[in-house]
Amino acid sequence: MEATNLADFPRPVHHRIPNFKGSFLMSHCVQKWEVFEKAREVKVDPDKPLEGVRMAVLQAGKTLLVPTPRLRTGLFNQIVPPAGAAKDTLRKCATSQGVRDYSVPVGLDANVHVDLVVVGSVAVSEKGWRIGKGEGFADMEYAMMVSMGAVREDTVVITAVHDCQVVDIPEELLGDHDLTVDYILTPTRVIRTGCERPKPRGILWHMISHQMMEKIPILKSLRGREKQAGKDVILKEERTDVPAVAEPARGARDPRLESPTLQNESSPCRASPGEGSVPTCSDRLREPSSLFVGNIPPATRASEFKAILRERHATPAQLTWQGAQHRAFLRYPDQGVAEVALAALQGLSLHGCPVRVEPAKARRDKMDGGP
């Protein structure tokens, strides 16, 4: 989109839901759409390319719900324009600044019934499979709405993108937590996906960490509700089938995840004839405590990759960076830590490209001609 000048402000479009030229004109297209006309309460992501859709919701007098930034203070806010607001004011309400100035928090006890969910996408397939920025907020928001009873099986999910963002996406990239879409709106057409893959049916607590609970306080309330209802709310660190990663005390350092050693492709691998020597490349790749990361975009730097690992709480004890081969190997203290890191890195995208993360042993077996 950058190379062909299809992108619009803000630029560059990397690391965000890309805005495309003409995106605001989607407001005219969506207003005449039957699915939109039937909706009364609409949840729209705060991304720039969806500004026209938010404007259309306000002009039609529908209830507009927008997720709170990174879900820090709740699930979503309702945008309430001033009484008798003119078109210019409604357009301001649809902007990111308007979302901050004209929003009212919506509590968990509010009687919310969302008829239409509009999400941003980096890429989407005609089968309804989408890729976002890789942070999982759209998937989490939908799962939270399921938990609070705000969406039903007949709630329609759509995304609005440029035609060039409609691409083939391998199904193996999707997980049970990934949100699919029923319709794709582009400047030239409306695509009905007919997607039969089920949408998230609630919060997958076994993928939620205590640290995530601290960052998203509303999860605590939802977990308490589901626990009272007798549902399984065991968190990732509390699972018995995967060894837990101990949370370091406040101000303390976890030696297992501190200051990873970085090796690049120019670093020779040394033989290990005896105890205390460095393992060979082959030995390291076969270790169950190592992960393989492939399909890394050429523009990605090692420092950028390390920062992303820290954000996802998947910092390895050793990182072997092979940028020229578009791959990296992550070595962890033990298999339990590696499995937790593997779960944390699922759905990761770099520069809009999905990367492949899998146990390094499995990758090595494939390289050796195994199944």
Instruction: Look at residue 287 in the predicted model and tell me its pLDDT.
Output: 53
Q: Which domain holds residue 141?
A: 23-192
Taking only the tens place, the pLDDT of each residue in 117-136 is 999 999 999 999 999 887 77
Task: Please report, for the domain that includes residue 304, its CATH number.
Answer: 3.30.70.330
Q: Is residue 89 in a domain? A: yes
In angstroms, rounded to a whole number, what is the distance separating the alpha carbons of residues 211 and 127? 34
* pTM of the model as a whole: 0.64
Q: Over 50: is that where the pLDDT of 32 sits?
A: yes
Q: What is the mean pLDDT of the chain?
A: 81
| DSSP E strands, the chain | 41-44, 63-67, 76-79, 103-106, 116-119, 123-124, 130-131, 156-160, 183-185, 190-192, 261-264, 290-294, 318-322, 327-331, 349-350, 353-354, 356-359
Q: Over 60: is that where the pLDDT of 263 sits?
A: no
Q: Over 80: is that where the pLDDT of 59 sits?
A: yes
Q: Over 50: is that where the pLDDT of 284 sits?
A: no
Do 187 and 259 belong together in one domain?
Answer: no
Average pLDDT of the residues in 308-330: 88
- Give the chain's domain count: 3
In angstroms, rounded to a whole number, what is the distance separating the alpha carbons of residues 242 and 335? 9
Do 215 and 178 belong together in one domain?
Answer: no
Domain boundary at 154, 171, 192, which?
192
Instruction: Look at residue 288 in the predicted model and tell me its pLDDT.
Output: 62
